[in-house]
Structure formats: structure tokens, C-alpha cells
């Protein structure tokens, strides 16, 4: 079950878990025809069952329903990737309260609700993998991202609590902390900067990287997906409670 997997990092993770042989449940927003094309392309390419569930994860009741529908269809959720997330960029004094509430609901509270929904089954079966997609912003801050940075620091903390609670249940819980990944979420920030500064998208793209990452290259959704697949493998079975950076050196500074 990969939340927010109709686009970007979540889609990259869904593809790599499908490549490794997992049955996949996609989730997220988007054009139904495009989502169906994505769903059937992954199923065809990797020969696994791929389903789609359109739950809005800002609503706890829909997360609960999503988990129940997955269990009814497939018997269990063995791997949960809490990936769905949004961003809003503004100074604290200009930050709309409704944007704060929306970012916290999706980027932080949905992680809690998702883990709460899957843990009883994972404990019963004695095996589970939970991967929470945090961010470099789960470890360090940037100006104008109050809700996102607060939520992602919260995700890292929630990951540690869950890992400790499940340490001897065959379940690992980790946070992946990416630096810049060129997805629609980041593309929107680059385009907003280009519009505000009267510069080009490619100039702002280079500037965005140079401000934060010693390595001046975007990580790809595919690489995050391969990292997630590793965490689900036997080799990752004693890694738990970790905030794992894949960020071109961002938090090394």
C-alpha cells in the first residue's frame, strides 16, 4: 500500500515494489483515465496485481476505510508506505491557518492513522514494513515552510516511537529523508520562484539545488523506490527507527 502513488516519489516506490513482486495498492488524486493507464501499465510491466483506491488521506475515516478495503481484497497489508504529502510556502505571519491544518493533516496525522490501521494485522502475522517518507526537512529547517518542517520532524519522531513499540514483532519502521527530487511538488516551487524573480525555470532549478545540496543533482523517484525495496528485503530486517537520508549531502553540512 503506497499512499500518494499517482505521481512522483510514491509512483516510483510503487513501481520498484512491483518490480520486486509485491501486490500493489495505489492511492492518490488525479485524472481517472491517467490513473487507470498507470495502474494497468505497472500490472502489465511487472506481472503483479495492482489496485487503486482513491481515499483522501486528510480524512481519518477514509484512511480507515482504505485499510479495510485493502484487507478485504488482499487479506493483509504487509508493507505500508506513508508517502502522500503537500507543501505550502509562506512566512509564518502570512501562513493561512487552513494551509497549516491541511499540511499537518496529510503530512503528519495521516502517518499516525495509517500506522494505527495496519499495525494490529502486522503484529498478528509477525511481519511488516512501514516506510514513512519524511524529508531533509524532517531533520533540518528552511524558512517559509513552517507546516511542512513541523510535520516532517513529527514524522521522524513518530517513526522512532513505532519502531520501538514493534521492535520484537518482525516489523521495521523507518523514515526516508530525501533531498530534492524533481516531482510535480518541487516543479511547482521552481515555477513559483521563476515567476516571482522574473527568471527562467532552469535558472531557478539550478539555484534551488545550489542553496541546499552539495551534490547538484536531483534524486529520482526510481532511486527512492529502490531504497524502499531494500528496506523491505531481508537485508533491511534489522534497520529500524532510522531517519535515512538520500539527499546529496544536504544534512551533512
Closest distance to ligand NAD from the beta carbon of 65 (Å): 12
**For ligand NAD, which residue of 89, 122, 181, 229 counts as binding (CB under 6 A)?**
181
Q: From the candidates 100, 148, 180, 250, give the one annotated as an active-site residue.
A: 148
**For ligand NAD, which residue of 2, 6, 81, 248 counts as binding (CB under 6 A)?**
6
By CB under 6 A, which span of 92-100, 115-123, 157-165, 180-188 interacts with ligand NAD?
180-188
What's the rounded Cα separation, in Å, for the pair 88 and 137? 13
Answer for the pair 25, 104: CB distance below 8 angstroms, yes or no. Answer: no
H/E element, 80: strand 79-82
| 48 vs 246 by CB, closer to ligand NAD | 246
**For ligand NAD, which residue of 114, 128, 178, 225 counts as binding (CB under 6 A)?**
178
**For ligand NAD, which residue of 1, 2, 10, 46 counts as binding (CB under 6 A)?**
10
- The runs of H, that is alpha helices, within the chain are 8-19, 32-46, 60-74, 97-103, 110-125, 146-165, 184-197, 201-212, 221-232
What's the rounded Cα separation, in Å, for the pair 223 and 148? 23
**Nearest in space to 43 (alpha carbons), one of 66, 15, 70, 20:** 15
Q: Which of residues 62-121 bind ligand NAD (CB under 6 A)?
A: 83-86, 106-107
Closest distance to ligand NAD from the beta carbon of 252 (Å): 16
**For ligand NAD, which residue of 97, 98, 143, 184 counts as binding (CB under 6 A)?**
184
Sorted by sequence, the CB contacts under 8 Å of residue 7 that are 6+ apart come out as 28, 30, 183, 184
In this structure, what C-alpha cell is assigned to residue 148? Answer: 511542512
| 116 vs 235 by CB, closer to ligand NAD | 116
Report if residue 248 touches ligand NAD, rule: CB under 6 A: no
148 is catalytic: yes
What's the rounded Cα separation, in Å, for the pair 84 and 229? 18
Q: How many residues bind ligand NAD (CB under 6 A)?
A: 30
What's the rounded Cα separation, in Å, for the pair 174 and 190? 29
| Residues at the contact surface with ligand NAD, assessed by CB under 6 A | 3-10, 27-30, 56-58, 83-86, 106-107, 133, 135, 178, 180-181, 183-186
Active site residues: 148
Amino acid at each position: 500500500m503506497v499512499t500518494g502513488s499517482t505521481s512522483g516519489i510514491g509512483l516510483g516506490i510503487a513501481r520498484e515494489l512491483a518490480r520486486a513482486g509485491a501486490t500493489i495498492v495505489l492511492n492518490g488524486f488525479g485524472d481517472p483515465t491517467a490513473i487507470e493507464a498507470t495502474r494497468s501499465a505497472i500490472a502489465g510491466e511487472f506481472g503483479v496485481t495492482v489496485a487503486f483506491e482513491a481515499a483522501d488521506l486528510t480524512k481519518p475515516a477514509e484512511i480507515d476505510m482504505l485499510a479495510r478495503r485493502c484487507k478485504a481484497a488482499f487479506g493483509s497489508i504487509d508493507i505500508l508506505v506513508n508517502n502522500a504529502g503537500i507543501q505550502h510556502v509562506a512566512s509564518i505571519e502570512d501562513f493561512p491557518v487552513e494551509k497549516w491544518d491541511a499540511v499537518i493533516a496529510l503530512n503528519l496525522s495521516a502517518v499516525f492513522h495509517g500506522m494505527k490501521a495496519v499495525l494490529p494485522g502486522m503484529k498478528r502475522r509477525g511481519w511488516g514494513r512501514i516506510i514513512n517518507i519524511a524529508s531533509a526537512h524532517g531533520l533540518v529547517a528552511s524558512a517559509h515552510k513552517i507546516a511542512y518542517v513541523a510535520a516532517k520532524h513529527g514524522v521522524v519522531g513518530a517513526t522512532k516511537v513505532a519502531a520501538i513499540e514493534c521492535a520484537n514483532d518482525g516489523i521495521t519502521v523507518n523514515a526516508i529523508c530525501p533531498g530534492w527530487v524533481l516531482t510535480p511538488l518541487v516543479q511547482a516551487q521552481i515555477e513559483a520562484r521563476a515567476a516571482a524573480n522574473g527568471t527562467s525555470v532552469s535558472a531557478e532549478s539550478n539555484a534551488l539545488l545550489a542553496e541546499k545540496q552539495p551534490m547538484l543533482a536531483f534524486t529520482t523517484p526510481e532511486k527512492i523506490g529502490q531504497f524502499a525495496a531494500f528496506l523491505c528485503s531481508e537485508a533491511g530486517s534489522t534497520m529500524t527507527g532510522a531517519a535515512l537520508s538520500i539527499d546529496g549531502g544536504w544534512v551533512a553540512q
